[in-house]
Structures are given as structure tokens and as C-alpha cells.
Structure 1
Amino acid sequence: MSKKVTRRSFLKRMTFGTLGLIGLSYGGYYYAHEIEPKWLKIINSPISSNRIPEPFNGFKILQFTDTHIGFHYSLKDFEKLIQYINKQSADLVVFTGDLTDDPSNITSLEYDKIIELLSLIDAPYGKYWIFGNHDHGGYGTSMIQTVMKQGGFSLLQNSSVKIPKDNAEFTLSGTDDVLLGSPNLSNLIQDGEEDLFNVLLCHEPDYAEEAMKYPFDVQLSGHSHGGQIQLPFIGYIVTPQLGTEYVEGSYTLGQNPLQLFVSRGIGTTRLPFRFFCRPEINVYTLKANTSSS
């Protein structure tokens, strides 16, 4: 027999229920604002291809992206990130855009500190970067370009470079930002180099629909922040333009095929929260598929 609910017990339940919701709301806010955005994880992913030369077997490429310094991401946070990066002992380091959230809001002293920290990144086979949409436009374009250069990073803006190792090489290419720049893929892979292992850096992941028409083996992107907030049964909450189709993780596209890897990145934008979407840096280990025959 069910117990009769009195007015007093009803009010008591309502009071505890309301207090519980307030507590959960505050706890969720604190977690999403203060804890998860700082809870960095390392994602290790193998990349296999029969076009990877044998000398590059075990070669490590580290990608970090979307730091958005100045929006809920401080220089102290950035300093810790550099320490995490160097602990991975990567051969090659790439940055795929959006260094600051708003370049005009960063002081000259802060830029000096960013340059100092970028200079500390150790990568024996080089450090490369591409523009993100938050890096581009007026003052920001030239300032971010200067900062990255002084920090030891080489810009790939609709350009390519060969990464050599033991008489072998692969091609690393980068596009201009798709949203605010002028991307051009047509001249990145030269005639006769279609059979090389070709890696593309592109800030916006959805541009892979265009990149898969070319002989790229891998595309590394950021921009989407992994949706930044993920809710059960609802999915991704914050997905920017050209970051809606491929939001996080890995995808295989086209007949070539193109392996697309989308990083959740480091910082936040628009909303200073992460929920069920921890920030990450990504380490890709190349695996040469050599024939045993």
C-alpha cells in the first residue's frame, strides 16, 4: 500500500529537489568552466600507408591546434601545454591554426611571452603551421605570422615542403584558411609526386570534401573543437561553419583514400565551456606497410 503524500512531505521533496537541481547546475557549470577545459589528454593514432617510406616507420607527428589564447586560456595554460608537447618527443610538430581568439586583444608583452614559449618546442624535423580563421584579417594576419616565425615555425600557406630522412622523403602541405583566406590545392603536389606520401594541413575539416579530389593521403584539421559541448541524445552543441560534417576523430574519404583526422583542439571560443569534450593534442605515428614478399 502506497504511503499518502502529505502537504508537508510534498513541500519537503520539492525543496530538496530544487536544491538538488541548483547543486547539479552549479556543479555542472563549475566542471564545464573550470575543470574539463584544463583536463588535457593525449590522443595517439597510427597512420598506415604503403606509400610511407621505410625510414619513416615509427616517425611521430604531433599536432596541436586552436589554443585561442586570451579567451578562457591563459599564458600559464599555454606554458603547461608546451611542457606536454615536449614530453611526447615528436619528430615533427604542426600547428593547425587559431593561436589567439582575437589578435588585437593580446598585448606586446604577451606576444613576447608567446614567442618565448613557442621557441621552446623541440622538433628535430621542423615546426610548421597554417592560418586559422581567428588568425586572419587585418592586423591579426601580419602579427600572428610574425609571432609564429619568431617562435621558430614555418608557414605553409598554399605551399609545400619536403620532409627528408635517410634518402627518403614525404610531402607536407598547407592551405590558406578556407573561411577568410584564399585556399588553393592545385599546385601543392607537383607532377610526378603523386606517388609520394602526401600530408595536408587544413584548418577547416569539412574542406576534406575538396581535398579528397587530390592525391593527399592524410589531412590534419582542427577548428571544430569537437563540438566543445556534447550532450547525450543531442550531440554536438558548438559546431562552426565548415566544421559540422567532420567534427572529431578520424574518417576515410574518397577512393584514394584520404585519411582525415580532426582534433578537438586546446582552447574554447564563443562559450568558455567544455563538456564531455576534453581538450587534446594529437600524436600520429607513421607505419610503413612494407610487403613481405
Structure 2
Amino acid sequence: MNKNWLPFKSKKEDVVIKRHTLNLLRQPHAAPLKVIHISDLHLGFHYSYDDLIYHIQLINDLQPDIIIISGDLFDNIDHYHNPEHLIPLLKTMTAPLGVFFSYGNHDQRIHQTPRISRILSASNIQLLTNTGVVLDFDQEPIFLGGLDDIINSKGNMYQALKNRPDDMLTMMIVHEPDYADFVEQFKVDVQFSGHSHGGQIRFPLVGAPVKPQLGRKYVKGLYRIGAMTLHVSPGLGTTHLPIRLFCPPEITLFNIH
């Protein structure tokens, strides 16, 4: 297929930067915690090396404290004859408190997670699979956890939170957004998800006619579920067809006070 003729083909320059403010920190701080959330790059499926260069530059220009990638970094790892060549570029995506990633369903279904894990480690991207870390933001501890994929693997909230100290600000990376109804029971402050691509193709007044499994209830943007905030990223890449309609790719910056 000649991709150049496709209508509404997504281009790297179509990306929008959205900003949100959340009041979650337990202590006063001179400056907010800056968190970048991106998702669903689908490297190997119509998402090129040049796309990655462009988007990483935009992310770094925002000077985040934390970068969160909520799954589906890879789609077809064999598309790159040597995907390890991506490591020097991925290493340029930096944040003082770290870059963190949890698997999505596409990462899992290609059955190459050991190789992906090695690439992430060499790129200084910390993989969170049913585990979590305590981060120190200006002497305030923050728990950041991540689940394994729910659809094609074994995401486990109990295991992910087993070492969480009591009463600590908690952020979770969970690829599938509709799992939020379960996550909310665990005193989580904010869940970062992707998976739905915001529908990828949307129509005015109608929304997204096609939604994936576990991405049908919460599709795009911010939601309040009990005491928890859920953010569903429209993603940076595409799946199935390399097109978007009324749903541009997005980099999201959270200023957390």
C-alpha cells in the first residue's frame, strides 16, 4: 500500500501539547511536580525514527521531572533490523526523577519482552511490571507503580502495591484505562493509561465509533473516579491504519501542586 495517498494520515507535526493542573502533593513546594505522560508510540508500525526524534525534542524542551510511558512502545520490533539502534536515541529522553514504562497489549503480544526489557534498561528507562518505586520530590516521597498488561499478561495490583508505604501519594501506570474502576479501590491518586488512542478516528457529536477492549468506557482525557484521577492519553502513534481524524497525537504535561 502506498501510504502517501491515505487521507488524514498522521504526521509527527500534528502533535499537540496539552497541560493540566492537579492538586495532589501533601506538602507545599516552591514549584510543581512536572510529569509528562505519553503512550502508544507503536514503534515499528508507521512510527518512524524521525517521529521519535521530533517528539523527544518536544518532551525534553518541557523539562519534566518525570516521564511516564503507559504502554505499547513497540508494535513490530522486527520492523527494525536491529532495534537496539534505537537505544542512543531513547537515552536522550531524560528527566531528573526518571523515565518509566509499563507494558501494553502490543508489547506483550509480540512475545519479545526479554528483548524489549534489555533495550529499555540500556536506554535508562525503568520498567515497572507489577512493582513500584518511591521517588523523592523535594523531600516529599511519591510512590509510582506500574502494572503488567491486563489483556495479554497478568497485571497484579496487590503485587504492585505490596511495598507501598501507608498514606503516600500514589501514581499508577496501567495501560488499559477501563481497569481504573478496579484500581480506584486501592487509594491511588492518579492513574495514567493509554490503549484507546482516543478512538484514533472521531466524529463531532458522535465521538469514537471504534474502541478497543478495556478502552471503551474511558476513552480520552481526564476522568474523576471516586477519589482518583484518570488520564487517558490519545497516544503518539497509530494502530491498524496510520490515520487520525479529529484526534491528534498528544504529549501531556501535568503540573502537580
Same topology, TM > 0.5 = yes
Match of 1:22 in 2: none
1:230-269 alignment, distance < 5 Å:
230-254=202-226, 257-269=227-239
Q: CA deviation at 1:145?
A: 1.2
Alignment partner of 1:33 is 2:3: no
> Is 1:103 the counterpart of 2:77 in the alignment?
yes
Give the Cα separation in 2 of the matches to 1:189 and 1:33.
40
Aligned amino acid, residue 40 of structure 1: V
Please give the per-residue CA displacement for 1:58-93, whole angstroms capped at 9, x wherever unaligned: 110111110112222111111111111111100111
Q: Provide the residue aligned with 2:18 in structure 1.
A: 43
Q: Offset at 1:115?
A: 1.0
Partner residue, 1:23: none
Structure 1 residue 103: deviation in Å? Answer: 2.2
Select the structure that is richer in helix: 1
Residue identity opposite 1:77 in structure 2: D
**What's the CA shift string for 1:234-275, capped at 9, x where partnerless?**
320331111110000101112xx0100010010000121100
Q: Is the 8 A contact 2:44 2:78 kept in 1?
A: no
Give the 5 Å matches for 1:165-184.
165-184=137-156
Q: Quick check: 68-77 or 195-204, which moved more?
A: 68-77
Partner residue of 1:65?
39
Contact 1:229 1:237 in 2 (8 A): yes
Distance 1:56-1:64 versus aligned 2 partners, 3 A rule: farther
Listed as ranges, the gaps of 5+ residues in structure 2 are none
After superposition, residues 135-214 of structure 1 pair within 5 angstroms as 135-137=107-109, 139-190=111-162, 193-214=165-186
Specify the structure having the higher radius of gyration (Cα).
1
Alignment of 1:1-12 (within 5 A): none
SS for the counterpart of 1:104 is helix
Which residue of 2 is the match for residue 8 of structure 1?
Answer: none
Confirm or deny that 1:86 pairs with 2:56.
no
1:121 aligned residue = 93
The 3 A distance-change label for structure 1 pair 119 and 278 is: same
- Report how far residue 138 of structure 1 moved: 5.8
Of 272, 275, 279 in structure 1, the residue corresponding to residue 245 of structure 2 is: 275
Residues 147, 192 of structure 1: alpha-carbon distance in 2 compared, 3 angstrom cutoff: closer
Gap change, CA 1:136 and 1:190, over 3 Å in 2: closer
The one-letter amino acid paired with 1:33 is: K
Question: Distance between the aligned counterparts of 1:34 and 1:169, measured in 2?
Answer: 39
Q: Where do 5+ consecutive residues of structure 1 fail to align? A: 1-27, 288-293
Q: TM-score, normalized by length of structure 2?
A: 0.92
C-alpha displacement of 1:56: 7.9
Counterparts of 1:81 and 1:235, CA distance in 2? 26
- Partner SS for 1:244: coil
Number of residue-to-residue matches in the alignment: 253
**TM-score of the aligned structures, taking structure 1 as reference length:** 0.81
SS of alignment partner, residue 213 of structure 1: helix
Higher mean C-alpha deviation, range 234-243 or range 205-214: 234-243
Following TM superposition, by how much is the alpha carbon of 1:192 offset from its aligned partner in structure 2, in angstroms? 7.8
Paired amino acid for 2:21: P
Structure 1 vs Structure 2: percent identity of aligned residues?
Answer: 34
- Paired residues of 1:53 and 1:169 also in contact (CA < 8 A): no
